Chain A
Amino acid sequence: MMNKTLNQKAWLFVIPVFVLVAFNAAVPLMTVVNYSFQETFGSNVFAWEGTRWFKEILHSERFHASLGRQIIFTFIILLIQLPLGIGIALTMPKKGWGVPVCLILMSMPLLIPWNVVGAMWNIFALPDIGFLGHSLNSIGFDYNFTQQSGDAWFTTILMDVWHWTSLVVLLSYAGLNSIQPAYYQAAEIDGASRWDIFRYIELPKMKKVLTLAILLRFMDSFMIYTEPFVLTGGGPGNATNFLSLDLVKMALGQFDLGPAAAMSLIYFLIVLLICWVFYSIMMKDEGRT
């Protein structure tokens, strides 16, 4: 534990960071707040609207729909990626040539530009010329993600699993590797079963990395934009129109700045709240708060 000295001059060290981030955060935020309370007639003429946009958004069916879709999506993602990631990490080798091979190959999806991920899956899943699409159709499924909502959801989720599960795998793997061998040895001597070892040793010791994994996956899936945009464009119809997609459509597409701004703030607040909850849990374990 670091014994930190009290030193207000430390602020000098922090200034570059503070400026760069605040600049990027505060200024746009002010803009957004500005817009959320006013009506713009397109030529920088503003009229005070009070909380009209907020009320409109909170009552809008469109918002409820996209929020609902978003929540279901994130829920399914977490449900699949967390156990899957942990499971794969448990089977990965700990020593030998397999380790760097696994790590490098598994990290690759994480490094592909998100639009390429969307484009790649678009091509991959096309019903007639894509590997996935063609294969599914030839087995007998009637699969077309551009036209059928169920298929669009299936493909989007599969794409996200392909894209991000490795993050959970890598985090879990790191967590597992930090467990000293003595714990496994003691468990072997105690006659513990494989499940016992997982439940009483591995899972508790992975608590920190798992909390981080849940936090990151929750946030990133909740804010997802590019991949579904490129894959389905939000469609068919509104089937995969998640929160971010809807927001951008409103702001940059329709230039409905007032409602867009209000929605942005609400969106941001939801994210902040959940972030705060996770942060508190994580920091409590480290004994910092």
Chain B
Amino acid sequence: MAKITLKNLSHSYLTKQNNDSDWALRGVDIDWKDGGAYALLGPSGCGKTTLLNIISGLLKPTEGEVLFDDKDVTTLNPVERDIAQIFQFPVIYDTMTVYDNLAFPLKNRGLSETEIDSKVKEIGEMLELTSTLNNKASGLTADGKQKISLGRGLVRSDVNVIMFDEPLTVIDPHLKWVLRSKLKELHQKINRTMIYVTHDQIEALTFADQVVVMHEGQIVQTGTPVELFEKPKHTFVGHFIGSPGMNILPCEIKNGQINFEGKVLPTNTSIKKSNFNKTQVGIRPEFINFSNDGIAVKVKRVNDTGRHKVIDTECNSGSIKILASPSTQIPSGSVHITFDQKYTYAYGDNWIIE
């Protein structure tokens, strides 16, 4: 188990970089404590796999340092860092049995037969693979094979951190939930640092204590799922998290106040700066209410999903989605809405103004 620190990490796959887009990672700083469950969340191409591979040692960063327990491991290879990694598709040794697959990393580290046997049986039971231990690994289903991959990481007691690179990609949807719960359960049982990379917000939010949201090579926000939901620090976090995502619309900042649709919107955050190229206001659909006066919008459509109602509305600045409980009466035609002051935020050039 180890505390992981990333200092000013930047990486480019090109030998020369001319502009920002040539960098896969830019200036990443992270401080993760021992034994936590962390998620790296972001869309494809945002740099999360790059970051994962740098932490595990499969990739050497162009700039910056990686520290395990304050020890610089930037130049060490994966074996020396004592990490385990599970990939997007099951990586197993087809010609070996499940037992031999699990025993393999231990054999290479010179453990005795008895030690190996007890460890393999222990992990086999934890992962519910005991009945298949003597079967050929290639004969298992996709989720079974992923469990073997996971098992090979768990058998080693010296593992500092276990990394998951979108491990549920090839798993059937109805089994995804089972495996996700299993992973959470495992984390609580063995208490090792786990880093989970995904583009699926549900996976990230259910698995992790702390989520790191990435966008175009940078970390845009780190926080608990609740923090990310209630106060997105970047417009990307706003619309990536939540379903439907945050409403983000153009506005004007005058005298430290948000001017939207001709009205001043009250907010709890203090807006000190105002010289931005782009200013926007953000509010989640959950925090909008109907009222007698406020912003004028036209109701375009109401989608009843059973659990709640999603209302599409239009105003001059754009469309606004509203989430309401199933029992809410929705006036038709032209209505007025207000934003909950506590959750109204101003964004300048995509970053929150506070």
Contacts and interface: CB of A to CB of B under 8 A. Distances in A.
A188 B108 contact: no
Contacts of A201: 93
A18 interface: no
B56 interface: yes
Specify which of A183, A191, A204 lies most central, judged by the most chain B CB atoms within 10 Å of its CB.
A191
A204 B85 contact: no
B96 A200 contact: yes
B95 interface: yes
B140 to A, nearest CB: 16
A205 B94 CA distance: 9
B87 A185 contact: yes
A193 B77 CA distance: 14
Contact of A189 (B78, B89, B96): B78
Interface residues of A, number: 16
Contacts of B11: none
Interface in B66-108: 77-79, 83-85, 87-89, 91, 93-96, 104-105, 108
A190 B152 contact: yes
B254 interface: no
A182 B86 CA distance: 9
Contact of B78 (A188, A196, A200, A204): A188
Interface in A136-192: 180, 182-183, 185-186, 188-192
B337 to A, nearest CB: 49
A160 to B, nearest CB: 32
A182 B91 CA distance: 7
B93 to A, nearest CB: 5
Contacts of A196: 108
B12 to A, nearest CB: 17
Nearest to A191: B108
Nearest to B108: A191
Nearest to B149: A186
Nearest to B81: A189
B149 to A, nearest CB: 7
A140 B85 CA distance: 59
B95 A188 contact: no
Contacts, number: 46
A189 B87 contact: no
B95 A185 contact: no
A188 B82 CA distance: 11
Nearest to A203: B95
Contacts of B152: 186, 190
Nearest to A189: B78
A189 B95 contact: no
B58 interface: yes
Nearest to A205: B94
B105 A182 contact: no
Given A182-B87, A182-B88, A186-B85, A191 B93 contact: no
Interface in B172-215: none
A201 B79 CA distance: 18
Contacts of B96: 200
B108 A190 contact: yes
B58 A192 contact: no
B89 A192 contact: no
B94 A192 contact: no
A192 B108 contact: yes
A189 B93 contact: no
Contacts of B83: 189
Contacts of B89: 180, 182
Specify which of A189, A192, A193, A201 lies most central, judged by the most chain B CB atoms within 10 Å of its CB.
A189
B307 interface: no
Across chains A and B, which 5 residue pairs bring their CB atoms closest together, nearest first? A191-B108, A186-B91, A190-B105, A182-B87, A200-B93
Interface of A: 180, 182-183, 185-186, 188-193, 196, 200-201, 204-205
23 contacts: A182-B89, A182-B91, A185-B78, A185-B85, A185-B87, A185-B91, A189-B78, A189-B79, A189-B83, A189-B84, A189-B85, A189-B105, A190-B104, A190-B105, A190-B108, A191-B105, A191-B108, A192-B104, A196-B108, A200-B93, A200-B95, A201-B93, A204-B94
